[in-house]
Amino acid sequence: MLPDGPAVALYFGSEFCEDRLPDLDEASAFCAVARDRGWEPTLLTPLVSPEGLRAVDQLAGALGAAGFRPAVVFNDWGVLGLLRERHAALPRRAGRLVNRSLRDPRAYRDAPGGTATHDVSRHARMRGMLRRLGVAALETDADLEGGYLGEGRGSDGTGLSRALHLPYTYAASGRGCPLKAALYGDEGGFAKAFADRCPAPCRGKPLPVHRPDSALPHWRGGNTIFYELPHEAARSWLVHADRVVVHGSASP
Amino acid sequence: MNILAPLARSDEVAPLCDAGAHEFYFGLNPPGWEEAFGQASVHRRSVRSAGVPGLDDLRRIVRRAGGRPVFATLNAPSYPAGAVPRLVEFGRTLVEDEGVAALIVAELELLLALADAGLAPRVHVSSLATCRNPGAAAFYRDLGVARVILPRHMTLAEIDETAIPGLEWEVFALNDGCAFEEGTCSTTHAFRPYCIDDRVGRAPGRLDERYAFWKWTLDNCGSQTSRGYTLGPCGLCALPRLARAGVASLKVVGREAPLERKVASVRLASIALGLAARGATREDIRDAVVGERGAPELCEGAHLCYYPDAWTAEPVQGAQPAAAPVRDARASGAPRAGCAPPAGPPADRVDARPVAVVRRTATQGGSC
């Protein structure tokens, strides 16, 4: 299903959990691999707490000091502000959670191809704002409404590049991670542990999840539920993307 | 600090004022919305069960509120093509012609369009926008909005850092939690809440039991007490800390709930706020809440806490006034026409009647 095209970027980090942000060694290793292959290193960042904002700041600064200039995918307006004010040399890309359109997997029961109209009048103001704030690209997974990615970069160089994440679409995410809760006794975890640092027991271990209301394969990647997008729906989105971000597993 | 109460009809205004409400929020579809946009949600709730019946009833709400601010929810996370101009026009009508004080907005596209229309100072940023750090707060402040509603899943320490000057701050105080962060849940309750059927993995285990218990508490323990109180998420013991953080408004969740539940929730918040205003400790507030509501065991384990770090992040202070005194908004301003000064129970009165827990008949779930 995927169109032909070269590998151009290496994504690492997390869009869904600040405890899955890499440390400097790991991030540097990804950047080095990308550099060796001529790819763009691309650091994914999630919605963040104040502590998470400081972590992103430190990581971006340290990577810069080490000579790397990764693109940064932001999902938090605080992270965008940080990039503009303190790490202006790093290319900025708006992440999946900037797009808050509906993605409910149960909607595919009656419409396997999805219901996206791909009307690019949606989110036109937001795209204009992002361009003014120096954002280079939009990223999303497939939603049920479409239009978010707009028309892409024009021949005059204006506009935003577009990236589509496949094959997993996120359904829901939050801070009440059950896998993190497993690290606590019966009285702990969940809301009582929102701000605790987590050693990420989810790392490398996506769990298949059974749902009674959807035939689509579902996965738990730590604090986030993903589902595998029907191919028919994915095809309708591919024509609106300039880049496809292919995930090897459902990871937060 | 104000208590923000949910509304669905004008006849709810007076009892909620009596219980201690200082502000109100509601949902209403623009005229002709269904013909143009079908079932697309304007305000994340059923029009029938949670929506104000129409503009005439809204006018009665505003009149009966007697000057207490009334806010409109236009807080769907996204809207179909063509909807934003219609909502801007409707929002302008609400604030300029109908006496609505502010619009609660989640979708950035709508927020930007309202800002372009000069209405940003009348916008409250919804909790769905997941403003969770001071940088995100600065982003919204720069857009010129009036207030930010913080999401549920934050600690008090994070609220302290995020609530920067130049904005009003609102937090969740009572009822109806979310297992996922509502701003990062891309599903719809139209199919039924997605989290209800969420399991940890494929095979049920002990962790699933704990997860189910947490979700049960978020869903108000599927119960209410014989006095009409909801056994749901609660942030009342954190009021002294929230006041010091600069929080101005305490959201009581549940537009779709029966009036009795709304009144009981506002009354409980009013009791806690009155105590906090007089320098009560978290322990004093907890004891008063438990005495009025019942179910002490749920508080002993902090199972219902919106802000569990109210119990871990600060030493017991004794009966000292908060550093930034909690101000019960009832204490200021003259009585307003149409809505008598709150005449609910004295804020520190604890009803010692026995309390029973009764099972609720319908799943409510959801938020604001």
Q: For each of chain B's 368 residues, which pLDDT tens digit applies?
A: 999 999 999 999 999 999 999 999 999 999 999 999 999 999 988 888 888 999 999 999 999 999 999 999 999 999 999 999 999 999 999 999 999 999 999 999 999 999 999 999 999 999 999 999 999 999 999 999 999 999 999 999 999 999 999 999 999 999 999 999 999 999 999 999 999 999 997 777 889 999 999 999 999 999 888 888 999 999 999 999 999 999 999 999 999 999 999 999 999 999 999 999 999 999 999 999 999 999 999 898 899 999 999 998 564 444 444 445 566 665 443 334 345 433 333 333 334 445 555 554 343 444 44
CA B147 remoteness from chain centre: 13
A contacts of B183 (beta carbons < 8 Å): 47, 100
B contacts of A49 (beta carbons < 8 Å): 132-133, 154, 158
Element (H, E) at B58: helix B55-65
Q: Nearest by CB to B214, which of A100, A176, A208?
A: A176
Amino acid at B54: G
Tell if the CB–CB gap between B185 and A186 is shorter than 8 Å. no
A contacts of B158 (beta carbons < 8 Å): 49-51, 195
pLDDT for A201 equals 95
Q: Nearest by CB to B201, which of A145, A190, A209?
A: A209
A contacts of B306 (beta carbons < 8 Å): 191
Q: In this structure, how many other beta carbons lie within 10 angstroms of the beta carbon of residue A225?
A: 29
DSSP state of B96: H
Is B73 buried (19+), middle (13-18) or exposed (0-12) by CB count in 10 A?
Answer: buried
Cis peptide bond N-terminal to B258, omega within 30: no
Kindly report, residue by residue over A150-160, the tens digit of the pLDDT. 999 988 888 99
Strands A218-221 and A9-13: unpaired
Contact (Cβ atoms closer than 8 angstroms) between residue B216 and residue B209: no
- pLDDT mean across residues, chain A: 96
pLDDT for B328 equals 64
Secondary structure (3-state) at B340:
coil
Q: Provide CATH code, domain A9-167+230-246.
A: 3.20.20
CA-nearest residue to B112 within chain A is A125
Task: Give the mean model confidence (pLDDT) for residues A236-248.
Answer: 96
The helix-helix angle for A77-86 and B134-143 (nearest 10°) equals: 90
Secondary structure (3-state) at A122:
coil
pLDDT for B9 equals 96
> pLDDT confidence of A115, banded at 50, 70, 90?
very high
Tell if the CB–CB gap between A129 and B112 is shorter than 8 Å. yes
**Rounded to the nearest 5°, which phi and psi values hold at B294?**
100, -170
Which residue is it, tokens 């292959």? A37
Secondary structure (3-state) at A45:
coil
Contact (Cβ atoms closer than 8 angstroms) between residue B292 and residue B26: no
Interchain CB contacts (distance < 8 Å): A and B: 189
Instruction: Tell me if chain A has a CB within 8 Å of the CB of B309.
Output: yes
Contact (Cβ atoms closer than 8 angstroms) between residue B138 and residue A80: no
Tell if the CB–CB gap between B198 and A209 is shorter than 8 Å. yes
Which residue is it, tokens 């104040």? A50
Amino acid at A12: F
pLDDT for A122 equals 95
- Beta strands per DSSP E along chain B: 2-6, 23-27, 70-74, 102-105, 123-125, 147-149, 168-174, 223-225, 249-252, 357-359
Integer Cα distance of B137 and A79 in angstroms: 11
Element (H, E) at B161: helix B156-162
Element (H, E) at A141: strand A135-141
Provide the percentage of residues in chain A whose pLDDT is more than 70.
Answer: 100
Integer Cα distance of B153 and B130 in angstroms: 9
Could you give the C-alpha distances from B358 to B33, B229, B246, B355, in angstroms and in order?
Answer: 39, 10, 36, 10
Amino acid at A90: L
Provide the token pair at B49: 């069960």
Nearest to A36 by CA among A83, A74, A72, A68: A68
Tell if the CB–CB gap between B109 and A122 is shorter than 8 Å. yes
Provide the token pair at B227: 């006095």
pLDDT for B321 equals 42
Integer Cα distance of A189 and A184 in angstroms: 6
Q: Nearest by CB to A190, which of B109, B201, B214?
A: B214
Closest approach of B12 to chain A, Cα-based (Å): 32
Integer Cα distance of B94 and A187 in angstroms: 46
B102: Cβ–Cβ under 8 A, 6 or more apart, which residues? B69, B71, B72, B95, B122, B123, B124, B146, B147
pLDDT for A232 equals 95
B contacts of A220 (beta carbons < 8 Å): 200-201
Instruction: Tell me if chain A has a CB within 8 Å of the CB of B44.
Output: no
CA atoms within 13 A on the CB side of B90: 23
Tell if the CB–CB gap between B200 and A179 is shorter than 8 Å. yes
Q: Nearest by CB to A178, which of B82, B200, B309?
A: B200
> pLDDT confidence of A186, banded at 50, 70, 90?
confident
Is B62 buried (19+), middle (13-18) or exposed (0-12) by CB count in 10 A?
Answer: buried
pLDDT for B201 equals 79
Strands B2-6 and A243-246: unpaired
pLDDT for A217 equals 97
CA-nearest residue to A133 within chain B is B139
Integer Cα distance of B232 and A145 in angstroms: 34
Integer Cα distance of B117 and B105 in angstroms: 14
pLDDT for B349 equals 38
Integer Cα distance of B110 and B112 in angstroms: 5
Closest approach of A9 to chain B, Cα-based (Å): 26
Helices and strands in chain A, H and E counts:
6, 11
Task: Give the mean model confidence (pLDDT) for residues A212-237.
Answer: 97
Contact (Cβ atoms closer than 8 angstroms) between residue B84 and residue A123: no
Q: Nearest by CB to B188, which of A104, A194, A210?
A: A104
| H-type alpha helices, A38-182 | 50-65, 77-86, 124-132, 178-181
Amino acid at B219: D
Burial B16-49 (b: 16+ CB within 10 A, else e): bbbbbbbbbbbbbbbeebeeebeebbbbbbbbee
Integer Cα distance of B187 and A172 in angstroms: 7
A-proximal residues of B, 240-269, CB under 8 Å: none
Q: Nearest by CB to B135, which of A81, A123, A182?
A: A81
